[in-house]
Structure formats: C-alpha cells, structure tokens
C-alpha cells in the first residue's frame, strides 16, 4: 500500500505544482496526509484538502474538485473522485492484488522489514526483576512490552542491545541475609530455590512487625555488604545465582534472551564520579543532611542523590548506568520500560542528566505501562499476594493439553505445542490492551480460547500452513493469470499490504497492541476468505493458484508478525 500512497502523493504534488500553488508542500508531507476511508464506497485512499484551504485561499470542496480535474487519471488507480473536501482514490484492484502478492512472496521473511534504523543502535532496559523474588504477572508488562519493542526496532534495522537491569542491590538484601541466618538453611534454600527465598523475605516482614529492631539489623547487614563483607557478598551472589536460574526458565518459555544481565550493583563503583560532577557544576544542595538537585524551576520535586548517611539512591544509580551505556554502546536511543508509577522518577533524573551537561539526554526514552492487579487487589511480595507467572503458564499449558488431547490426540510434539499455545494465550491477552492502561487481570479471560485470542491467531496460522503444505509447490504468478479477485480476497490483500505501515505505527507509539490488533485483522480477513472461497478444491485453475498464493502471503505476514509480540509460530495444532 505504501507504493500506492506514494503514487497518489506524487500525483497530488505534481497537480499542485501545475496549479501554481506556493509554497508547495513536499510530497512526503502530502503522503502523510493521506487517510484510509472508513467505507469502501469512499475509495481506498482519501486526500483531505482542508489543510490546503488557508494556503490556496479556497474552500476544501473547491480544492478537491480542482485537483480531480487537474489530475485526470493516475497509473494504478481506476478512478479519482471529489467528495466534499476529500479527493478519493480508487485502486485498480487486479493490478494492486498482483503487485502486492508479488511483493510479499518475493520478500518472504523480510516482508514488512525496513532499513529505517540502519546504522543506529538502541539500548533497551526491560524486565529487570528484583533478585530473590519470583516472576509474577506484575512483571509480565515490562518483560513482553520490552521484548516486543526490541523486536520491532530490530525488524526495522536497528542494532538492539537488551539489558536486564536486575534489582540486585539495596536494603532488601540486608533483610534476606538476616532472615536466612535466623530461620533458613542451605539445605532448605537449595531444595526450595527462589520459593524458599521468598518465604524467608515474607517471614522477615511478619517478624519485623513484632520486633522492629530487625529492620535496624537489616540495614546494618546491607551496610556490611556495601563495604564488601566477605560472608555477606557470598550469600548475596548465591541469592542472585538462584534467582537468575529461575528467571531463565520463564524467559525460555517466552523465547526471550538478553545481551547483558547488569543489575544495580554493577554501577556501584561508577556513581562517585557522577556525584562529583554534580558537585563541580554546583547542582548538589544539602537538605536536612541529604544531597539533592533542586528541580523547582522545572515544576518537579527535588531529585534525591545521596541519603543523609551518604548512601546512594535510584537516581544516582540510573545516572551512572546511563553514562556507562552511552560510553560503552554509543547508542542513538536508550529505552526504559517500567511501570507508569515511575514517570516522575524518570522525568527527574533525565532533567538532572541534562543539567549535568550531557548533550545526549534527549536520546533517553521512558516507556511507561499500566499496573496489574488481581481481582482489584494490588500485588505485593511481602504479603504473599501474587500470582506467579510459572503457575499462570502452567494452568494455560494444561488447558491447551486437554483440548489437544480431545481434538488432535495424534499430534506430534504435543507438549511443545501446548506450551507455545498456552504461554501465547497469556501474552496475547495482555498485549491486546493498550500498554498505558491499568488492568485487572482476569484468569478466566486470559485462559479463554474463544474469540479474539492468541490460540485463535495461532490456529489461523496453522491453517495457512496446512493448506500450503497440501498444495505442494507454490504456483507461479502466471498460473493465476487472468483471475479477478473477489471482495473477500481483495479485502485480505489490502489488510496484508498494511504490514509495513503497522510496524512504523507500533514503533512511533511504542505500542505492541498495534501489532496484536493487526494480527486479529489478518485472522478475521483470512477466515472470511477461507469461508467464502474454496482454495484447494477450486475448480478453476487460475482461482486455485491465486488463492494458494494468497494463503502463502497470509502465512508469511502472520509468521513475521508473531515474534514481534513474543508469539511463537505453530505450523500444526
């Protein structure tokens, strides 16, 4: 569709030039103005003339009529009609269908891919769980949104570096060390893994309610850790090792890998230099013993840099991490995917970085997402009010397994397929909604396989694969020569043609939901085509060839879109 938009925009540009319009809007700007009409009777592309009204000092309907007369005919379009303040372009459907199918089938796995990011580097900080705490559904957002964005940028030519900024530093480790020494044992932790660490953490908070002195002891143990106490360092590294081993099981189910696991502790030795730079620039002020950067001129609360005891805080660590990443990876963009509860935090330290004189501050981007609750209750590890991702995935996989056993008991690799579909159901459910909205996670809805769900999308892909496999060799373009596509076929082709634009829209808005909803549009279009049009049983040879080629194009587009939202391809279900 992009080629047709370019043709329409170039034609309008030439017509305006011949009409003596000045200053003449560039063709790229005119292309961006083109819209997709809500109704087929209004054409395939619509050019709104309202923005030209002030420039040409004419009413939009008059401009549309003048443009229609000046344009005459344009290659690739069957007709052009003025309607009110719009100039509507009707695509010559046969030429469009042939050109679009050729483009998709020729590109294959590269269909939709662009070179917009060639030569550019993007660092993305996402997932970032707190060590010694298991994955629960509150971690699902940063993990799947982050990986989706990384995949989208990579698909558009960017060199992407994924960083898991583990929460591996802070007083919570003092608490865990105290809990382990008081109530834990090596045997119990080795047997229970991260679950035992969580149990110790929860017990600490219960015990501390009765004995507040435990909090002072925890702070003392963390201070010893900061000063490289040998025993505390050993325990701390052990806790991290146990945690990462658990996390990687979940990442494997999601098909996610990271380039680096560099948690907060990695930047500990890099923070003093940044604190000194703040001092040299006169940005640090004392406030009740703490060191702050005053941001009142920017309508923000002060940014805390050092506590009264001289220890660092999150902004200090984030500043040091950003400087390290810029110096190490030379990024063009650095993205942080965290809860919308941290919006102020990022605004503050981004501004501090700017005041420090780092001229690349505007390359930092915070992508917030809404929080998740369970039946209206906020998640909290310390109270045990969590739904673990592994349990959620297990329930989904078991449900898929039961359905497969009923409908396709002879399927090969049933366990592998059940995992792909079950995990995909949860991820797809989450990414069907806008990332910025808070959501109340409903387990019954998430595990549903009816309607617009992940299993529906994966089943549609499997149907495409089955048809293409049964067809044998892909028919040549010449085998479909002379066939005129019907309405359902043309509608599906137009939906498939939007994929490159959909990718751009998802990146522009940092919104994986754009991809998820587009996948559902393809599925709806394909299943309508499948219902209305016999494919392998078509009596007309040209129709059969065309429909097999169209099925392959749908398979390619779905197959390219799935990994962009952590959804696995399922050739057979």
DSSP assignment string, 376-422: TEEPBGGGTB--BHHHHHHHHHHHHHHHHHHH-TT-TTHHHHHHHHH
Phi, psi of 339 (to 5 degrees): -60, 150
C-alpha closest to that of 439 among 370, 337, 351: 370
Could you tell me which residues come within 8 angstroms of residue 101 by beta carbon, excluding any fewer than 6 positions away?
477, 493, 546, 549, 550, 553
Could you tell me which residues come within 8 angstroms of residue 556 by beta carbon, excluding any fewer than 6 positions away?
104, 105, 107, 108, 109, 111
Cis previous bond, 180, omega within 30 = no
CB 424 within 8 A of CB 567: yes
Among positive and negative, which fits the CA dihedral 19, 24, 28, 30? negative
Catalytic residue numbers read 133, 136, 139
- Helices of type H across 24-89: 27-33, 53-56, 60-71
C-alpha closest to that of 274 among 344, 333, 353: 353
| Strands ordered across the beta sheet of 290-293 | 284-287, 290-293, 303-306
Tokens (6 digits) for 393: 């995935």
Distance from chain centroid for Cα 520: 16
Cα–Cα dist 279/286, whole Å: 11
């Amino acid at each position: 569709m992009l080629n047709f938009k370019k043709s329409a925009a170039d034609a309008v540009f030439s017509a305006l030039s011949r009409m003596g319009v000045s200053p003449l809007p560039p063709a790229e700007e005119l292309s961006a103005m083109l819209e997709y009409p809500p109704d087929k009777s209004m054409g395939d592309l619509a050019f709104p003339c309202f923005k030209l009204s002030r420039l040409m000092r004419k009413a939009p309907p008059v401009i549309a009529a003048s443009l229609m007369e000046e344009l005459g005919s344009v290659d690739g379009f069957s007709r052009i009609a003025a309607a009110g303040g719009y100039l509507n372009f009707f695509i010559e459907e046969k030429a469009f269908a042939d050109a679009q199918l050729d483009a998709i089938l020729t590109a294959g796995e590269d269909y939709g891919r662009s070179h917009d990011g060639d030569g550019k580097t993007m660092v993305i900080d996402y997932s970032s769980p707190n060590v010694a705490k298991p994955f629960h559904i509150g971690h699902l957002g940063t993990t799947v949104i982050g990986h989706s964005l990384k995949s989208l940028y990579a698909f558009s030519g960017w060199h992407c570096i994924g960083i898991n900024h583990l929460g591996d530093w802070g007083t919570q480790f003092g608490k865990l060390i105290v809990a382990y020494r008081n109530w834990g044992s090596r045997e119990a932790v080795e047997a229970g893994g991260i679950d035992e660490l969580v149990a110790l953490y929860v017990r600490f908070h219960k015990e501390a309610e009765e004995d507040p002195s435990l909090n002072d002891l925890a702070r003392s143990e963390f201070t010893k850790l900061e000063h490289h106490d040998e025993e505390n360092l050993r325990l701390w590294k052990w806790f991290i090792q146990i945690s990462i081993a658990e996390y990687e099981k979940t990442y494997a189910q999601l098909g996610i890998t990271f380039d680096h696991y560099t948690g907060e502790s990695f930047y500990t030795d890099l923070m003093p230099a940044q604190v000194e730079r703040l001092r040299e620039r006169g940005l640090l002020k004392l406030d009740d013993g703490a060191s702050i950067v005053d941001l009142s001129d920017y309508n923000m609360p002060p940014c805390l840099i050092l506590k009264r005891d001289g220890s660092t805080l999150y902004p200090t660590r984030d500043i040091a991490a950003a400087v390290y990443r810029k110096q190490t990876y030379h990024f063009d963009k650095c993205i942080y995917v965290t809860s919308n509860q941290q919006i102020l935090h990022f605004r503050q330290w981004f501004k501090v970085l700017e005041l420090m004189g780092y001229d690349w501050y505007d390359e930092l981007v915070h992508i917030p997402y809404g929080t998740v609750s369970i039946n209206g209750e906020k998640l909290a590890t310390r109270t045990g009010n969590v739904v673990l991702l592994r349990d959620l995935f297990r329930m989904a996989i078991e449900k898929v397994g039961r359905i497969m056993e009923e409908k396709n008991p002879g399927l090969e690799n049933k366990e592998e397929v059940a995992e792909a579909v079950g995990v995909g159901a949860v991820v797809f459910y989450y990414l069907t909604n806008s990332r910025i909205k808070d959501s109340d996670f409903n387990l019954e809805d998430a595990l549903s396989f009816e309607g617009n769900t992940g299993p529906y999308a994966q089943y549609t892909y499997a149907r495409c694969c089955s048809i293409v496999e049964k067809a044998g060799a892909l028919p040549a373009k010449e085998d479909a020569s002379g066939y005129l596509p019907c309405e359902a076929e043309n509608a599906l082709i137009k939906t498939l043609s939007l994929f490159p634009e959909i990718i751009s829209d998802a990146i522009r808005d940092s919104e994986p939901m754009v991809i998820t909803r587009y996948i559902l549009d393809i599925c709806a279009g394909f299943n309508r085509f499948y219902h209305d049009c016999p494919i392998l049983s078509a009596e007309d040879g040209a129709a059969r060839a065309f429909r097999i080629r169209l099925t392959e194009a749908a398979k390619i587009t779905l197959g390219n879109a799935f990994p962009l939202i952590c959804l696995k391809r399922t050739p057979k279900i």
